[in-house]
Amino acid sequence: MTTMKRLTTFSILFWINQSRVKNNYVSIYARITVNSKRVNISLQRKVLLADWDASSGKVRGTKKEARILNRYIDQVRSRIFEAYEQLNYENKLITAQAIKARFLGEDDKHYSLLTLIDYHNTQMSESLRFGTLKNYFTTQRYITIFLNENCKTADVYLSQLTYQFIVDFERFLRLYIPIGYKKPMGHNTVMKHLQRLRKMVSLAYKMEWLDKDPFIKFKPSYKKVEREFLTDAELQMIIEKDFKTDRLTSVRDMFIFSCYTGLSYTDVMQLTEDNIVIGIDGNKWIMTKRQKTDTRVRIPILFKAEELIIKYQGHEKSLVTGTVFPVISNQKMNTYLKEIAMICGISKNMTFHMARHTFATTVTLSNGVPIETVSKLLGHSKIATTQIYARVLEHKVSDDMNTLREVLKNIQEQNTLKSTS
């Protein structure tokens, strides 16, 4: 018995919906027709009604906007035809709906990169912190720009992800200057974006959306960064400085509070009176959960930090928010800290996170607090993490070696006495 292969008629038409004109603009659609059955795909683009050429299915004119739209139409046409060719090669039943599903990455095998990213961000929205999710959205934005500018396409199938794609994306990140910045992002920032892409691609591989992992040959590398902190002299200078405005005084106070507690910006902003309790030693402690890691931290309150808590009791803005300190955005906080640094003659790039580094180094480690204790105070699960924040200062190394000298000297003297007796 022989089977006849069914003849398939296939066409693509670009058209506008003239029944829905808004401010003289209309939406552009692609119509896929297979054996007289048709489906439409919105291009998510609009054009002036007078500029549309129905006979060519393109925008009239040679202006930049027209060229960009026509180039996009050509890309969509090429991708729709590619979807048709793939189904034909795989000996799949070819229908208008099947081609549309393959084009959109909605069929059972051919998922697209942007479909994966949307899936990841939707699925992880409940489990990831807002800050982490925000970073994934930033990576998504760079991927979209890369696809449009370098790959000349709006999206790619996961099956098109190769090691070459990763290398090209890495190079794009190294050269790209984000809006509002004067130079390209640093090496470690590039690695962070690639790490996020890798996690999403790994998810696709585990779900069998991908036959092989394109990251298998990729080896990420991170440069060790010396994290800045304030010296004791700089810290005292900021504490003693008389600022002329309430906004700078408040920002200085919250920064100093962090220097003496190690709490991050978010944790300071969310701190309430309920987080201040009497500890096992009868003194006041802060008991809270770090928002970043959901780790419980218990921090004995040092005298300077307690002074600041008392100072802001009954503050009108704190009463409104129900927090220990008045709430201010992280962006404004860091802007005002740079102003404070300039007033105090400090050339370092002062950010609120520097207070956490200062707590780890100047306030605790350099005063002999063991790194194990500092690690607990910072809410770290590994001492290795603490070592990134905490610089072992030279005078601390000197003190430790002098202590060791004394120990070895005493041992030698005791051995000498034993041998002579």
Residues 39 and 37: their CA atoms lie apart, in Å, by 7
Domain ranges across the chain: 10-104, 113-206, 232-390
Please check the confidence at residue 301 and state whether its pLDDT lies above 70: yes
**Residue whose C-alpha is closest to residue 373's, from 150, 34, 41, 363:** 363
- Which tokens hold the place of 416? 């000498």
Query: Coil, strand, or helix at residue 227?
Result: coil
State the architecture of 232-390 in CATH terms: Orthogonal Bundle (1.10)
Q: To the nearest whole number, what is the mean pLDDT of the chain?
A: 87
Res 391: pLDDT: 55
Residue type, 178: P
Task: Name residue, tokens 């218990």.
Answer: 298
β-partners of residue 289 are: 296
Q: Is residue 139 within 8 Å of 197, Cβ to Cβ?
A: yes
Question: What are the contacts of 240-243 at 24+ separation with CB within 8 A?
Answer: 241/340, 241/343, 241/344, 243/340, 243/343
Phi, psi of 183 (to 5 degrees): -145, 165
Q: Is residue 395 within 8 Å of 365, Cβ to Cβ?
A: no
Res 108: pLDDT: 57
211 contact partners, CB below 8 Å, separation of at least 6: 159
Q: Is residue 368 within 8 Å of 398, Cβ to Cβ?
A: no
The region of weakest confidence among 179-183, 240-244, 305-309, 368-372 is 179-183
Question: pLDDT tens digit string along 139-192?
Answer: 999 999 999 999 888 888 888 899 999 999 999 999 998 877 778 888 999 999
β-partners of residue 263 are: none
Please check the confidence at residue 4 and state whether its pLDDT lies above 50: no
Phi, psi of 65 (to 5 degrees): -60, -40
The region of weakest confidence among 294-298, 398-402, 414-418 is 398-402
99 contact partners, CB below 8 Å, separation of at least 6: 10, 32, 34, 39, 80, 83, 84, 87
